[in-house]
Every structure is written in C-alpha cells, then in structure tokens.
C-alpha cells in the first residue's frame, strides 16, 4: 500500500528528509533555511520542533539512528550537529568547523556514527569528527582531484571509504580514515592503502563527457557503487571486477537520487516524478525491472492528442485541460530514503519531492503490480 503525506497542508517543496530510528519522527527541509521535525500521530503529523540556526537554504539532513543526533548543512557554508535535550526534548545546535568558502551541498553520517562527511561547492569534502578535548566538531579536507561541486556522498559499510559524485562528471571513491579516532583499516577490494584522501577509484559518467553526477550509493557489501547522471544514465562499478563499469543510458528525464534496495536492484527517481527499479543481471547488464507508480491516464490522453490539436486548429481557441501528471508525485522527486529494511533487502522506501509530498512505497506490493504489465 502506498501512503501519501503532506505536512500541515504545506505544499512547499521538500528538498530533503531523514527519519529517526523507529520512523516515528521525520526531519524535512521545506526549501528554506529551516528544518521541521514532525511526529507521527496515527495518520496525522504534529510539528514538535523547528531547527532554524541556518541563515540560508538547508541542502542536507541526516539523522543518526543509534546516537539520535541530527546533522544539517546549508548554503550558508555551515553545518550543525543537533542533540536533543533530556529536559524539554528540544534540539540544541553545535556549530561544525567546516572551513569552506562555498555552499555545503550534502551531508551523511558514517555507519558507526563517529564522524560525518560534508560535500561542498568549494571542490572538497569535509570529514568531520568530535574532539572531546576541545568539545567541538572539527574537519579534515579531501581535495584532490575534485574539480567541481560535490553533489552527493555515501559511505562504505566499513566506515572508512566513501563515494562522492560531483559536477565534473565523475564519481570517486576516497578513503576517509581519521587516525585520531580509528584503528588501521583492513584491505578491501577497492584497495589496501587508505590514508585520508587516498583516491581509490575514479569513474566517468559517460564515454563522451556524460553529465553531472546527481547521486551515489554503495551496495550492502560495499563492493559496488551506483550513480545517476544528469545525462539520464544509470551507472554501476564493481570493485571485484577490477572497477569495471556497467552503464545504461535511459530515455527518461534525468534522475536525481538512487539507492540500492538489494544486492542486485537499485531504485532511482528524479525529474520523471516516478520511482523506477533497475536490476543488474548475472551478465552485468542493467535493465528496467519495474516502476512503483502505476497509472493509465497518460496512455488514454495520448490517444486523443491528435484530436485535441485538430480541435485547436479548427476552433482557434484553447480548451480547458487537466495539467496534473499521471503520477502520485506532481513534481521532481528530490530524495529517497530507506523506510523499512536495509539495502540488502529493503521492504519500503520513502520519497519526497518538489510538490511538497512525502510518499511511502511498499516495494513488494508495488513491484508485484508493476511486473504484471510493465508499461512506461
């Protein structure tokens, strides 16, 4: 069953969202400098707090499930770690020393929640950790060979490696090892030598330029990465195959987000307003295996397209037309989060979009319906 939600009737764009551990609360950014915290009460949502420390638009939110800390970043070049007080349950911010001169564009907690990474328009990644002696969050930079804005970040399960996508058309795997707080990492299929900033792998979005890398994701075992480009491509690289790249150039509008939902399947979404499932087969071919949003409306309208334009020509006037899309989301999907399960075997996902909607999709139900008659 698909659940559709709006928050207090607010239809402002939701640029990003993040869930707490038990999915009883959600943090969203309504496309401004604030982060709104909502608590679920039945089918309704109650606003319990507003995080308003940022001066400019919030670009990224992540909620650590075990330590229950929220990290946010924004166009004001700042990041904050938010901790909930025991007394009034309000969220208190602590400024992070990012040391950047351009907007912070994305942020993700590491799997062990002892550090996080922030991408930025300053062509670098800030890997941030807590210095208990000085009681503040500090950062170390990964710079080379990034040539443009870092648009997306995802962590390897080992808490050491991360993959970053940027607008220089490349996805890169780096070491984010912080010797101050971590033991020496063990070797992975991506490589054995892992000082901070070590470039483990670099991949282009396409053979002839490609497009901006809009989002990246690590598989559950950490041996594969996927990324989506602004050239409407889906790309997978496998460390066990020597970094071989498998690519599919699709006919759809560009994708803005991607997430592994099993060891072989990826959910993607973006300007097409519909989440799609792609699968990597044993021969390393990527194919479309389903879509989560089913509708017949557009197919019926298309059959009447010629009749409509003949009417316009004959009557020299415009008719009243329905401008709604044949999908649940009525604008681009900007964010995908796992709602139930993990990227080994996800059961539900959530999407938020520029139409102000949050949608929770049941993968088993929607995929079963989709496979009965795939038509896009």
Residues 147 and 164 occupy one common structural domain:
yes
Classify residue 151: in a domain, yes or no.
Answer: yes
Classify residue 316: in a domain, yes or no.
Answer: yes
User: For residue 234, what is the domain's CATH number?
Assistant: 2.130.10.10
Mean predicted lDDT score pLDDT of the chain: 91
Rounded Cα distance between 89 and 357, Å, is: 27
Helical (H) or strand (E) element with 371: helix 363-371
Residues 288 and 346 occupy one common structural domain:
yes
Residues 173 and 189 occupy one common structural domain:
yes
Residues 183 and 311 occupy one common structural domain:
no
Q: What is the pLDDT of residues 208-267, one digit of tens each?
A: 778 999 999 999 999 999 999 999 999 999 999 999 999 999 999 999 999 999 999 999
Residues 70 and 155 occupy one common structural domain:
yes
| Higher pLDDT, residue 95 or 299 | 95
Residues 128 and 227 occupy one common structural domain:
yes
Residues 339 and 318 occupy one common structural domain:
no
Residues 18 and 109 occupy one common structural domain:
yes
Residues 121 and 219 occupy one common structural domain:
yes
Residues 303 and 179 occupy one common structural domain:
no
Domain of 300? 295-327
This model's pTM is above 0.85:
yes
Classify residue 376: in a domain, yes or no.
Answer: no
Residues 197 and 314 occupy one common structural domain:
no
Query: Is the pLDDT at 300 greater than 50, yes or no?
Result: no
Look up residue 28 and give its two tokens: 């969203």
Integer angstrom CA distances of residue 227 from 24, 120, 142, 368: 30, 18, 20, 25
Rounded Cα distance between 328 and 267, Å, is: 16
Classify residue 66: in a domain, yes or no.
Answer: yes
Integer angstrom CA distances of residue 139 from 119, 127, 314: 12, 5, 66
Look up residue 253 and give its two tokens: 């509008």
Burial 141-178, CB ≥16 within 10 A → b, else e: bbeeebeebbbbbbbbbbbbbbbbbbbbbbbbbbbbbb
Residues 359 and 322 occupy one common structural domain:
no
Classify residue 375: in a domain, yes or no.
Answer: no
pLDDT band at 324 (very low <50, low <70, confident <90, very high): confident
Residue 356 confidence (pLDDT): 96
Q: What is the pLDDT of residues 181-223, one digit of tens each?
A: 999 999 999 999 999 999 999 999 877 778 999 999 999 999 9
Number of domains in the chain: 2
Burial class (CB in 10 A: 0-12, 13-18, 19+), 183: exposed
Helices (H), 159-304: 297-303
């Amino acid at each position: 069953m698909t659940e559709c939600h709006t928050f207090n009737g607010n239809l402002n764009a939701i640029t990003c969202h993040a869930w707490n551990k038990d999915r009883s609360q959600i943090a969203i950014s309504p496309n401004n400098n604030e982060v709104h915290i909502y608590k679920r009460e039945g089918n309704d949502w109650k606003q319990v707090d507003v995080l308003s420390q940022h001066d400019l638009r919030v670009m990224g939110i992540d909620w650590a499930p075990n330590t229950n800390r929220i990290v946010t970043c924004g166009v004001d070049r700042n990041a904050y770690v938010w901790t909930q007080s025991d007394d009034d349950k309000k969220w208190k911010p602590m400024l992070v020393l990012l040391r950047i001169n351009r907007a912070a564009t994305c942020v993700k907690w590491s799997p062990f929640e002892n550090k996080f990474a922030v991408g930025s328009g300053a062509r670098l990644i800030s890997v941030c950790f807590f210095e208990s002696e000085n009681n503040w969050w500090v950062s170390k930079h990964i710079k080379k060979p990034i040539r443009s804005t870092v648009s997306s970040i995802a962590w390897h399960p080992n808490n050491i490696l991360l993959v970053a996508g940027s607008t220089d058309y490349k996805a890169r795997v780096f070491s984010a090892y912080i010797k101050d707080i971590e033991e020496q990492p063990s070797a992975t299929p991506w490589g054995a030598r892992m000082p901070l900033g070590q470039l483990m792998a670099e991949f282009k979005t396409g053979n002839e330029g490609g497009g901006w890398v809009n989002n990246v994701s690590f598989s559950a075992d950490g041996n594969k990465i996927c990324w989506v480009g602004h050239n409407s491509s889906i790309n997978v690289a496998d460390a066990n195959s020597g970094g071989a790249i498998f690519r599919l150039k699709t006919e759809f509008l560009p994708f803005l987000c991607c997430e592994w939902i099993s060891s072989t399947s990826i959910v993607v979404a973006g300007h097409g307003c519909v989440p799609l499932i792609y699968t990597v087969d044993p021969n390393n071919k990527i194919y479309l295996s389903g879509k989560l949003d089913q509708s017949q409306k557009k197919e019926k309208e298309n059959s009447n397209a010629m009749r409509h334009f003949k009417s316009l020509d004959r009557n020299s006037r415009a008719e009243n037309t329905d401008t709604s899309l044949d999908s649940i989301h009525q604008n681009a999907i900007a964010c995908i989060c796992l709602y139930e399960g993990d990227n080994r075997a996800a059961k539900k996902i959530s999407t938020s979009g520029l139409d102000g909607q949050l949608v929770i999709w049941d993968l088993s139900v929607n995929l079963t319906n989709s496979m009965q008659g795939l038509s896009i």
